[in-house]
Amino acid sequence: MSGIVVATGAGGLLAAPAAAATVDCSTVPWMDTSLSATERANALLDASSQHQKYRWLVEQPANDPTKTTWTARGEADVVYPAQVPCTPVVVYNNGPDGVYRSAGTTAWPGPIAVAATWNLELGEEKAIAHGSESFDKRNAVILGPGIASGRTPLSGRGSEYFGEDPVLSGLMAAANVRGLEDGNPDKPIVANLKHYVANEQEVDREESSSNMDERTFKQIYDLPYEIAVRKSDPGSVMCSYNQVNGVYACENDILTTSLREDYPFRGYVMSDFGSVHSTAESLNAGLDQELNRPIWFTPARLDAALAAGEITQARIDEAAFRVVHSYIEGGLFDHPVPATPVANVSTPEHKALAREIAEQSTVLLKNDGVLPLAEGDLTVAVIGQTASKTPTNGVSAKTGCAWDFPFGPPGNQALNCDAIVDPLTGITERVEEAGGTVVYDNGADPAKAAQVAAAADVALVFGHYKMGETKDLPDLRLDGNGDALIEAVAASAPRTVAVLNAGSAVEMPWLDKVDAVLHAWHSGEQVGPALARLIYGDVNPSGKLPMTFPKSVADTPTGKDAAQYPGVFSNGSTTRPAGSTEIRQVEYSEGLKVGYRWYESEGIEPLFEFGHGLSYTEFEYDKVNVTPKSTTGDKEIRVRFRLTNTGDVAGTEVAQVYLELPSSTGEPSKRLIGWERVTLEPGEHRNVQVTLTADDLADLHLLEYWDTKADDWKTASGTYEVTVGGSVDADAAATFAVKAGK
């Protein structure tokens, strides 16, 4: 527990006086800011009755201190005593990408877009703004950021996560947590890292088991959480719906063995909605708080389990302590949320930041010289439903703003996309400023759109697909007539730029027929101004893919075997038998070959590789050098190289560093170990250094692999090869030797 002392004395079982509204909060020790968070938490629990302690073990009783009764479905009401005085009202809100379902807030680009910036500082800056808006809207615990490992691009929630690489995902999540928890001292937020762990699909997410070997678990699925925890110390972690190797995540001993003992994690573990299936098993495994209303952690069930010896008083006190300690340490006791929400919290600075993220995250996948557009008298055709704020068949620019939120009114989105500046508006303003003209067609009729495009100098044609929680994508093709529309426009327009709004990879059967492709993800409310600046070169594209784009789903690590995805039942079928509650078995038999590791090891050429992203200039890498040339593997390592802008305009390159371990380790491919964003003027070169500190080597396990026999991380002796470049296809190389000490 990292020095935390938990009060477990018998005094905690004694009845405490009912909460009194007249208590002077300056007199109770848990509000004494001169004491440590540990001392304050212990004082509160010492003053609590048993059932007041129980309140902390369930979200709603924990966070609504004067309410005493909760209505259960089909059972007797759940009754608690009022909480001890001077405890705060705390509101949880979902929100890995922004404040959910709230007017007057900023609609930010999605987390996958933030990852595409490869800019940790920008990600942290966004989280600071997000945290400020959340607090002012009376939300003190944010259910986010989210982490998954990108096992399949079909995952319906892929846009909520940071891509397929453990290091990139872990560091992006850590930056998000730091921004939320440390960025606004007077507006404190507790972040909730979710969904732990191996929650890689929406198909039967509550009734499936993610089955894998220990090394795969530690290196691919557990590692980004470990990195995030070590680099940011979040106040809470959420366990996921699914089983891991046949045991539900919220009652799996990985909550203790991996999360607490190996990292170690100091905060509290909460469940996802409805992901608890037991009382004693969940509490003993390390679950501290049941999300939403009391079901499994009711006073009656806890009392019965305690009387039967299935749980201990020490474990009850520990769970309550973890929640209270996180709240106090996070500042929730000392800085209560406003009594009423602030109406408009989206400032001009926040909107400018949303635009900057949209600019840096948009990936230029292809460009045959059509971009940037030239100033002057151009006729630009803007075509497609997601280009305009005016809906066509229920689709508009708001569709491309954010992923679908399945709870609430039909068509409801996670974020406040009503404030969107649509691409048609943003592009029209910029084209007219340049002296040109815009013509628009909604693309509902590809033949009509083709006629509009034929009369223009260049066509910008928009395609999209919807994705969101509770269901996976059926494929990676564009929704509606998207592919046919792009084909028709490309066949008639003198030059064609495809602009894609999607939170994952896209198959592109029309790729050879268009001149350029911009992947804009779910790019938030400032997508219009961002795209306008990008297509004219006011901003040079610098986004890089945080995930591999396959040519087809069949090429993905899980694309051919139904046992891998979506998983099968005991009868061998992928279809759930009617009325069955059988657990779907999902076999992670690809092991370590996830994302780019799969394509590299299998020799499969993707449509666009991990880390890919073009610029309006070109960059050259050479003179790669690693120091020291020989190391024990636990000292600082410096990777130096020369980067040159060989083009005619200034640009920013995300220079990526990969490492191939000795063959004795059995690793399937090289791995990402670092990167640097570098801005260069035309013709400028710079000697760039990516430093792998001793702390980074330890926290990120950059040189290590998981040794199942030793049950620990291990560094192998041998020759290590570093490659540097603009994507995983990096080939500027150098080597160094490791003589491991363990």
Residue-wise pLDDT tens digits, 123-135:
999 999 999 999 9
Instruction: Please identify, among 501, 516, 535, the residue that sits at the C-terminal boundary of a domain.
Output: 535
Inter-residue contact 321 to 121 (CB < 8 Å): no
Quick check: 18 pLDDT over 70?
no
CATH of residue 409's domain is 3.40.50.1700
Mean pLDDT in the chain? 95
Quick check: 213 pLDDT over 60?
yes
At residue 406, the pLDDT reads 78
CA–CA separation, 170 and 149 (whole Å): 10
Mean pLDDT of 243-271: 98
Quick check: 329 pLDDT over 90?
yes
At residue 300, the pLDDT reads 96
At residue 116, the pLDDT reads 98
Tens digits of residue pLDDT in 551-565: 999 999 999 999 999
Percent of the chain with pLDDT over 90: 94
CA–CA separation, 176 and 199 (whole Å): 20
Q: Do 325 and 364 sit in the same domain of this protein? A: no
Inter-residue contact 132 to 563 (CB < 8 Å): no
Instruction: Please identify, among 480, 511, 535, the residue that sits at the C-terminal boundary of a domain.
Output: 535
> Looking at the domain assignment, is residue 530 inside a domain?
yes
What's the burial of 343, exposed, middle or buried (CB within 10 Å: 0-12/13-18/19+)?
Answer: exposed
At residue 718, the pLDDT reads 97
At residue 185, the pLDDT reads 96
* Residue 72 domain boundaries: 1-87+298-330
Distances (CA, A) of 374 to 204, 360, 534: 50, 21, 12
Mean pLDDT of 491-506: 98
Q: Do 379 and 498 sit in the same domain of this protein? A: yes
Confidence of residue 8 (pLDDT cuts 50, 70, 90): very low
- Token pair for 85: 């005085």
At residue 21, the pLDDT reads 52
Q: Do 380 and 499 sit in the same domain of this protein? A: yes
- Provide the pairing of β-strand 236-239 with 190-196: parallel
AA identity, residue 158? G
Q: Do 353 and 324 sit in the same domain of this protein? A: no
CATH of residue 643's domain is 2.60.40.10
255: CB partners within 8 A, 6+ apart:
196, 239, 249, 269, 285, 286, 287
Tens digits of residue pLDDT in 468-494: 999 999 999 999 999 999 999 999 999
> Looking at the domain assignment, is residue 447 inside a domain?
yes
Q: Do 396 and 523 sit in the same domain of this protein? A: yes
> Looking at the domain assignment, is residue 259 inside a domain?
no
Exposure b/e, 292-319, CB count within 10 A at least 16 = b: bbbbbbbbebbeebbeeeebeeebbbbb
Inter-residue contact 597 to 671 (CB < 8 Å): yes
> Looking at the domain assignment, is residue 211 inside a domain?
no
Q: Which residue is it, tokens 């790729």?
A: 511
Q: Do 418 and 531 sit in the same domain of this protein? A: yes
Q: Do 525 and 389 sit in the same domain of this protein? A: yes
Phi and psi at residue 7, in whole multiples of 5°? -75, 120
At residue 412, the pLDDT reads 63
Tens digits of residue pLDDT in 533-544: 999 999 999 999
Quick check: 10 pLDDT over 60?
no
Quick check: 410 pLDDT over 80?
no
3 state SS of 716: coil
Catalytic status, residue 272: yes
Phi and psi at residue 411, in whole multiples of 5°? 80, 0
Query: Which of 233, 272, 472, 515 is flagged as catalytic?
Result: 272
512: CB partners within 8 A, 6+ apart:
none
- Provide the pairing of β-strand 247-248 with 243-244: antiparallel
AA identity, residue 133? E
> Looking at the domain assignment, is residue 545 inside a domain?
no
Q: Do 436 and 517 sit in the same domain of this protein? A: yes
Tens digits of residue pLDDT in 430-455: 999 999 999 999 999 999 999 999 99
AA identity, residue 686? R
Higher pLDDT, 731 or 364: 364
CA–CA separation, 92 and 99 (whole Å): 11
CA–CA separation, 78 and 722 (whole Å): 59
Distances (CA, A) of 451 to 364, 396, 447, 489: 26, 21, 7, 8
Instruction: Please identify, among 514, 535, 556, the residue that sits at the C-terminal boundary of a domain.
Output: 535
> Looking at the domain assignment, is residue 525 inside a domain?
yes
At residue 408, the pLDDT reads 63
Q: Do 321 and 386 sit in the same domain of this protein? A: no
Quick check: 663 pLDDT over 90?
yes
- Token pair for 435: 């002296």
Question: SS3 string of 458-509?
Answer: EEEEEEECCCECCECCCCCCCCCCHHHHHHHHHHHCCCEEEEEECCCCCCCC
* CA torsion angle 610 611 612 618 (round to 10): -150
CA atoms within 13 A of residue 691's CA, in its CB half-sphere: 5
Tens digits of residue pLDDT in 360-401: 999 999 999 999 999 999 999 999 999 999 999 999 999 999
Structural domain count of the chain: 3
CA–CA separation, 232 and 254 (whole Å): 20
> Looking at the domain assignment, is residue 232 inside a domain?
no
Full DSSP string of 239-295: E-SSEETTEEGGG-THHHIIIIIIS---SEEEEPTT----SHHHHHHT--BBSSS-S
Q: Do 399 and 304 sit in the same domain of this protein? A: no
Full DSSP string of 325-394: HHHHHHTTTTSPPPSS--S----HHHHHHHHHHHHHH-EEEEESS--SPPSSS-EEEEESGGGSSS-BTT
Q: Do 652 and 522 sit in the same domain of this protein? A: no
> Looking at the domain assignment, is residue 223 inside a domain?
no
Inter-residue contact 116 to 363 (CB < 8 Å): yes
At residue 575, the pLDDT reads 96
Q: Do 313 and 398 sit in the same domain of this protein? A: no
Q: Which residue is it, tokens 């027929």?
A: 513
Quick check: 9 pLDDT over 60?
no
Residue of 707, 722, 734, 704 lying closest to 166 (CA atoms): 704
- Token pair for 660: 């191939």
Residue of 562, 560, 653, 566 lying closest to 613 (CA atoms): 653
At residue 232, the pLDDT reads 98
